[in-house]
């Protein structure tokens, strides 16, 4: 397998990108093409030992920055690290692309360079998130701020194939994120989507899931529009961050708490590591006719490594092929 890695995407590029990519090469044996300014990538590569036959550089002189309009930037900057990485997949020279570029740029790359799977209306971002009782997947995490009810059915089907093929899950539960447990609750979108999901015999739809229960991890696939999914994801991040910092502060305000804090530190650290989104690597852009993994903008080497691992998993388990076969059966 060959993965195209956007060497200049994310806050810590190219250092952390290259570091994580090499870790993935050494641990998982993947082949990679890193796109970006040759001399910069070479300088980073010089720091590590690895099988030289597995790593290539594709020189790319431009970078797409976060404040650029994604579609325009992607069209104009033909020599950008992100565009070059997507081109490799389109040309069949790579099997997957990993980038920590902006959501907009990755979405544009997925839709305009690689293209949607035939028959799919909307591509969506999906990530595995650690919950209390297991991992769950929220689709869409922000690729589509506004969607039509039917799109949520597509998301559910993509999620099902992901859980079945990549994770080996049997009949994963599908829930509709909604502000009320009852069928008639919600906004116009969720009310209509509920009926469509209920009528779909290809998925194991269990009804509405309130945001309060999302992080329980009892329902594997949670579908929603991208605005809601992004809100869920960012609330989770923000609340965990603030809560941990406030708890720390509360403990440090008394001597007793300080001593206790030192004692519980290893447990908390282990806990935080287990619930770190970096473990999962990134979000997959599902619905495009290629494997696209979006790493978090603030990714470090470990997050990049895991993003490559995720790409490899999707490839090894034949996610795309199985999904397309399923689609053919459904029609």
Burial 160-186 (b: 16+ CB within 10 A, else e): bbbbbbbeebeebbbbbbbeeeeeeeb
What tokens does 149 get?
A: 């009810």
Q: What is the DSSP letter of 54?
A: G
Choose the stretch contacting a second copy; rule: CB under 8 A; options: 89-97, 156-164, 178-186, 317-325: 178-186
Q: Exactly one of 237, 316, 325, 330 binds a second copy (CB under 8 A); which one?
A: 237
**Residue 186 near residue 152 (C-beta atoms within 8 A):** no
Build a one-symbol-per-residue string for 39-68: x at contacts with a second copy by CB under 8 A, - elsewhere.
----------------------------x-
Contact with a second copy (CB under 8 A) among 29, 65, 134, 235:
235
**Contact present, 326 and 154 (Cβ < 8 Å):** no
212 lines the binding site for a second copy (CB under 8 A): yes
Q: Which tokens go with 330?
A: 């459904």
Interacting residue with a second copy among 15, 31, 231, 326 (CB under 8 A) = 231
- The one segment of 23-31, 38-46, 177-185, 199-207 that binds a second copy by CB under 8 A: 177-185
Q: Closest distance between a second copy and the C-beta of residue 248, in Å?
A: 10
Residue 36's H or E segment, with its range, is strand 31-36
Stretch that binds a second copy, among 3-11, 107-115, 259-267, 292-300 (CB under 8 A): 259-267
The Cα–Cα gap between 282 and 137 comes to 12
Among 9, 37, 101, 186, binds a second copy (CB under 8 A): 186
Q: Report how far residue 32's alpha carbon sits from residue 19's, in angstroms, rounded to the nearest whole number.
A: 13
- For position 211 contacting a second copy by CB under 8 A, the verdict is yes
CA 124/CA 140 separation, integer angstroms: 5
**Residue 207 sits in the site that holds a second copy (CB under 8 A):** no
Q: Does residue number 23 form part of the binding site for a second copy (CB under 8 A)?
A: no
């Amino acid at each position: 397998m060959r993965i195209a890695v956007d060497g200049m995407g994310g806050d810590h590029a190219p250092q952390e990108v290259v570091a994580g990519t090499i870790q993935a090469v050494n641990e998982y044996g993947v082949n990679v093409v890193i796109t970006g300014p040759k001399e910069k990538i070479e300088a980073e590569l010089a720091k590590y030992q690895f099988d030289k036959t597995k790593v290539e550089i594709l020189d790319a002189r431009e970078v797409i920055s976060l404040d650029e309009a994604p579609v325009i930037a992607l069209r104009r900057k033909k020599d950008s690290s992100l565009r070059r990485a997507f081109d490799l997949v389109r040309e069949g020279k790579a099997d997957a692309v990993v980038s920590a570029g902006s959501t907009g740029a990755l979405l544009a790359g997925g839709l305009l360079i690689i293209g949607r799977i035939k028959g799919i209306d909307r591509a969506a971002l999906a990530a595995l998130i650690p919950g209390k009782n297991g991992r769950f997947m929220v689709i869409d995490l922000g690729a589509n701020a506004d969607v039509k009810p039917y799109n949520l059915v597509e998301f559910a089907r993509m999620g099902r194939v992901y859980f079945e093929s990549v994770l080996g899950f049997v009949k994963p539960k599908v829930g509709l994120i909604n502000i009320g447990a009852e069928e008639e609750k919600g906004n116009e979108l969720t009310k209509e989507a509920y009926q469509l999901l209920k009528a779909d015999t290809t998925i194991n739809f269990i009804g509405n899931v309130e945001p309060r229960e999302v992080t329980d991890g009892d329902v594997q696939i949670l579908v929603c529009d991208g605005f809601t999914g992004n809100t869920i994801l960012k609330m989770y991040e923000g609340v965990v961050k603030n809560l941990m910092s406030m708890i720390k502060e509360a403990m440090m305000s008394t001597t007793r708490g300080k001593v206790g804090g030192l004692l519980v530190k290893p447990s908390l650290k282990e806990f935080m590591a287990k619930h770190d989104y970096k473990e999962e690597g990134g979000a997959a852009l599902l619905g495009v006719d290629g494997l696209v993994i979006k790493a978090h903008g603030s990714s470090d080497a470990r997050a990049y490594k895991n993003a490559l691992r995720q790409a490899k998993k999707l490839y090894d388990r034949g996610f795309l092929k199985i999904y397309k076969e399923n689609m053919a059966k459904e029609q």
